[in-house]
Chain A
Amino acid sequence: MAELRTEEMILNMGPQHPSTHGVLRLVLTLNGEIVEEVKPVLGYLHRCFEKHAEAMTYPQVIPYTDRMDYLNAMSNELAYVLAVEKLLGIEVPERVEYIRVIMSELQRIASHLVAIGTYGNDSGAMTPFLYCFMDREKVLELFEIVCGARMLYNYIWVGGLSHDITPEFITKTKELIKYLRPRMKMINNLLSYNKIFIERTAKIGILPPEVAINAGVSGPTLRGSGVKYDLRKSDPYSIYNKFDFDICVGTGERGVVGDCWNRYIVRAYEIEQSLRIIEQAIDSIPEGDVQSAVPKRVKPVAGESYVRTESPKGELGYYIISDGSLNPYRVKARSPSFCNISVINQISRGHMIADVVMILGSFDIVLGCIDR
């Protein structure tokens, strides 16, 4: 019998494909069902953030940072504002710091809930997705109480906050903490330890720790590879050094360290840690005026600052150069998803097409953050 002829096939996954979590195009080179190469094509959501920022005053940039990683606007604002405050050399009242930490952690919970829900959805589990979005909505309601917006807040200002928190916010946050703990148990039973889900994710897309560090991978994606590194502990900013919490890492409880399941489970565990931080912070908020340190005019002296923060997706950095005028000379955003996605080719080779979907989902990317 004559030998069967085979040839490589090129397949475009995306930019309009639901499992790419936005407008990302992956050019797959296939040998049958096996992936030989993955080439990500970026830029479909490029909105010239860095160019726009140069034409605006420092506070005007804050709403733009919201729209970078739109599932996680508070952390974006925080990172940018910390960088500007470092340039200005101002201290903010302790009350502001406490509220900022609470907001970032609530945002982390909301962001991780989306990550968990959509990841379940990618693997064919529709129900956890609905539960996660219900719970996320409760977090967004809290933001709405405080500043009126659900997703894009412009809440954290240079030197302060746009609104103070209300007693209603505090009671509802405490209720949320009580509500979320059993819900997370339920979601873990429903999804995390589900046999089908584990079969889809365990031992898929193994990312060795040294490769991860070299490629600039950060956040839960890095910790899934067993690297105990969290900027909230390793290089503390704001007042994170006051709180007691653990760094969650992938331990190979199911599958092996560094695979999709371990990356995923880090997020599920981190929600509990965020709840712990909020619990500690909410009872000890000092009194004060949240706008007392807001400068009338933000005009830093010439200089530059680089601030790294631990956003839910990973290390979010802002590099700001000031020339002494009202507008920043250069704003560079170091986006966590941008670096995380860059290893996809390396760890997808040799897997099936369906596994690429799981690997991509395990990074928890947001295209607004990658393309800026």
Chain B
Amino acid sequence: MEINEIYIKLKSVFGDGIGELKTDLPVRPFLFVDASKIDAVALFLRDEESLQFDNLSCLSGVDYDKDNLAVVYHLCSYSLGHQLVVKCLVPKQDPKIKSVADVWAAAEWHEREAFDLVGMIFEGNPDLRRILLPEDWEGHPLRKDYKVPEFYNGMKIPY
């Protein structure tokens, strides 16, 4: 199914929960979804007969612009062979987004990684802890305004 058809389909079910569809090159077409609706949209994408997005290929956290973080979902369907890119904007002030870990198990660790490095809070993730950095690390390094701390546990950080 092409992204335009998917977009129309989602729009008819979720209405305002689905944001803009971007098709201008060189960006691969993607669509915005409201961060508070993403769990329901994800479930629909997975279970709807004509969509069957059974695989979450990649989930990335991005420091999107001055006010927003973004979570980018690269979906793919093993059974039907089509792909889709979905983005959710999350305000930096209150970086909360619904977790999709119970829709795709792959999301659990990816969400932990996004939380660890970029710092959005995935509501409903069963085990939202840091995954790559030490548990007591402060801050989220992939934020553009991140400053490397001078000391970690009393040890000087050389770089």
Contacts and interface: CB of A to CB of B under 8 A. Distances in A.
Contacts of B110: 216
Contacts of A211: 105
Given A214-B54, A304-B27, A315-B57, A43 B134 contact: yes
B106 to A, nearest CB: 3
A141 interface: no
Given A301-B26, A330-B62, A342-B109, A214 B132 contact: no
The SS class assigned to the A binding surface is mixed
A334 B63 CA distance: 17
A334 B133 contact: no
Interface in A202-238: 210-211, 213-216, 227, 229, 234-235
Nearest to B108: A342
Given A214-B54, A234-B81, A339-B106, A306 B28 contact: yes
B43 interface: no
B142 interface: yes
Chain A contact residues (Cβ within 8 angstroms of B): what range?
35 or more
Given A50-B117, A330-B142, A342-B109, A216 B104 contact: yes
B109 A332 contact: no
Give the interface centre of B85, B109, B132 by most chain A CB atoms within 10 Å.
B132
Contacts of A210: 54
B58 interface: yes
B26 A87 contact: yes
Interface string A226-263: 01010000110000000000000000000000000000
Contacts of B56: 216
A227 B78 CA distance: 9
Interface of B: 25-28, 54-58, 60, 62-63, 72, 74, 78, 81, 83, 85, 104-106, 108-110, 117, 130-134, 141-142
30 contacts: A42-B131, A42-B132, A43-B131, A46-B133, A48-B141, A51-B117, A51-B141, A51-B142, A86-B26, A211-B105, A213-B55, A214-B106, A215-B106, A216-B55, A216-B56, A216-B105, A227-B78, A229-B78, A235-B81, A301-B26, A304-B27, A304-B28, A317-B74, A330-B60, A334-B57, A334-B60, A339-B106, A339-B109, A342-B105, A342-B106
Interface of A: 42-43, 46, 48, 50-51, 54, 86-87, 89, 210-211, 213-216, 227, 229, 234-235, 300-301, 303-306, 308, 315, 317, 319, 321, 330, 332, 334, 338-339, 342-343, 371-372
